[in-house]
Each structure stands twice: as structure tokens, then as C-alpha cells.
Chain A
Amino acid sequence: KAGVTQTPRYLIKTRGQQVTLSCSPISGHRSVSWYQQTPGQGLQFLFEYFSETQRNKGNFPGRFSGRQFSNSRSEMNVSTLELGDSALYLCASSSGHSKSYEQYFGPGTRLTVT
């Protein structure tokens, strides 16, 4: 089975712009979660989508949004970028059913805001 893929791998944007990141989960997985990872804050949960519906949301401002398509692929959008949004954005997929909630991560998108 192919793993989780994320595109693009690297992105440089200017403050005030917006960005869209893409994630393709493992085949058969219906849950996609997004995380932001920074040296200071570690891995922080952004939101989770299951069968095209946002099931969980972390404590991030409304500039961070996402969606999931019928084929389980997901996109994350960040509007009005700030310098502090520079981070590694990770997508993880899961079957979404198990209480153990094992997640499989993609390689991440490294976003740099200048």
C-alpha cells in the first residue's frame, strides 16, 4: 500500500498571502488529521476530517481551514499568512474507527513565511 503523500514538500510564501496544502491518505483510510510542528510548540493538532466532515478541531485561529473530498483526499488552507505560521505541516491518515486511533504520517510540507 502506498503511504500518505503530501504536496508540495517545500513552500516559501510572503506575509499576507494564502496557501493551500494537499494530502492523500492511505487507500481505505477515511480519517485525515492535520498537525503543525514547530521547534517551540512541538506537534499541535489543527483539525481532523472523517468522511468529508470536520470531526475535531484544535485551538487555531479561523485563518486555518480545511476540507476533505469524497475520495478522502484533504486540503488545508491558511489565509493571511503570518511569520509565525512558518512550520512543518503534517498530515496523518487513519481508518477513523479504532479507539486506538493509530495514525500514519506523511513526510510533511515545510512552509516558510517571509
Chain B
Amino acid sequence: AQTVTQSQPEMSVQEAETVTLSCTYDTSENNYYLFWYKQPPSRQMILVIRQEAYKQQNATENRFSVNFQKAAKSFSLKISDSQLGDTAMYFCAFIDNYGQNFVFGPGTRLSVLP
């Protein structure tokens, strides 16, 4: 069975600084997708960034980028120029190529400090 681990339950960063959230996963599949979701206090799950396992290039979305290390099964999220609005829970998630087995990590609570 696939598992997703986020080893940092809580993190904080100063506004305008850079922070990296860690995620590791375990799977025997070769093709799959990885995601980072943001959950602000409003409770809404918001997709931050997505990575296809067959792509070697790391995904980037504005201030958000990932470091995808397939061999190490690692998928970290880097947030540059942190903003107060980035304060939220962040979940790493995995789904296999069949789209039927979506697994979430336990989350990292990120606080951006003014």
C-alpha cells in the first residue's frame, strides 16, 4: 500500500523568507502523480502544485516550486517570498496512474510571521 509521510507537523517562517516543506512517499508504482494542497482556516482544499512522476523537470507555479527526487521518493515544496496569506495547513498527496488510490500525508501547519 502507498504511504505518504510529512515529518514536520509545524513550521514557521518570516514574511518574505523562503521555506521548504518535506514529503516522502512509498510506492511500487512507476507512474503516478504527486500534489501539494493548501488548506487555509476556511477549510477549502486548494491545489498548489502538481507533479507527474514521468516528468523529470520539477514543477513550478509562481512562488511555489517542488524538488522531486523519484529515486529517493521525495517531493518537497519550496515557498519563496512567503506571504501572510500562505499561513495554512499543507498536505502532500499521491495518486497512482489509475486514479483510484488517493493518499494524503498528515499535513504540515505553516505559520508566516510578520
Q: Answer yes or no: do A and B interact.
A: no
Please list the residues of chain B having a beta carbon within 8 angstroms of any beta carbon in chain A. Answer: none
The residues of A with any CB-CB pair to B shorter than 8 Å are: none
